[in-house]
Amino acid sequence: MPDNLPRIVAVLLDGLPSTVIAAVGGIALTIVLSFAAGLSLLARRRAVRVLARIYVEGFRGTSEVVQLFWIYFVLPVLVGLQLVPLYAGVLVLGLNHGAYGAEIVRGAVQSVPRAQYEGCTALGLSPAQRMRRVILPQAVVEMLPPFNNLCIQLLKSTAILSLITVADVTRQGVQVLIPNFGPDTELIFAVMAVVYLVLALLITAVMRVAERVAARRVGRRPTRAARGSTVTPAGAR
């Protein structure tokens, strides 16, 4: 075992809380924005659809790093509001990945068979009851596999928070360990990769449980197409 391995692991784990907080906070915000924007894309009012589309295309079509710099460096100049670095990072992660999640929600809702809508109409359910009690429970089963990919992508994106001084795993490795343990660069990055891999596996485990629970509630299993879905944000990082 390399002599410096315990020290390297200890320093990287010092950045683990910030990485976990950023990931959990970003995922929570992503879910909220995904449903809000995704359902807005299906709204009857054109103005609502247009606003949702502007949000989705705006955040999907621009670099996540640029978005981060705008929120952290430019926003204080424009409105005089300086966000804590970690909070700024969570906001950007949620806004960016929420735009991708919106398309997942929209596609999943539209994948529900038309007969389900007709059955709700026959039962006299209101649009809100139809969505809440019939359409969304079925759509969620199809959303979860691609949301798993999206959450893992968000986890990996937390590394950009090191650019605004957040002491996450990446910053601990690049700014603290590399200058002091230069000869162990390969080991440092290998341990960093393992940390992110373990976190990604934990996310996958949680999402797999959620998939089974959601499928059981509606008496079916996710489609193979949904299980094979991937989400790869196009924003340059």
pLDDT of residue 58: 96
Rounded Cα distance between 134 and 189, Å, is 47
pLDDT of residue 82: 86
Rounded Cα distance between 164 and 67, Å, is 12
pLDDT of residue 221: 58
Q: What is the pLDDT confidence band of residue 230, given thresholds at 50, 70 and 90?
A: very low
Q: What is the mean pLDDT of residues 37-45?
A: 93
Q: What is the mean pLDDT of residues 65-80?
A: 93
Q: What percent of the chain has pLDDT over 70?
A: 92
Domains of the chain: residue spans and CATH: 5-227 (1.10.3720.10)
Give this prediction's pTM.
Answer: 0.87
Rounded Cα distance between 116 and 18, Å, is 44
Q: Name residue, tokens 């998939």.
A: 211
Chain centre distance of CA 6: 31
Q: Considering just the CA atoms, what is the radius of gyration of the chain in Å?
A: 21
Rounded Cα distance between 171 and 166, Å, is 7
Q: With left for phi above 0 and alpha for psi between -120 and 50, is residue 203 left, alpha or beta? A: alpha
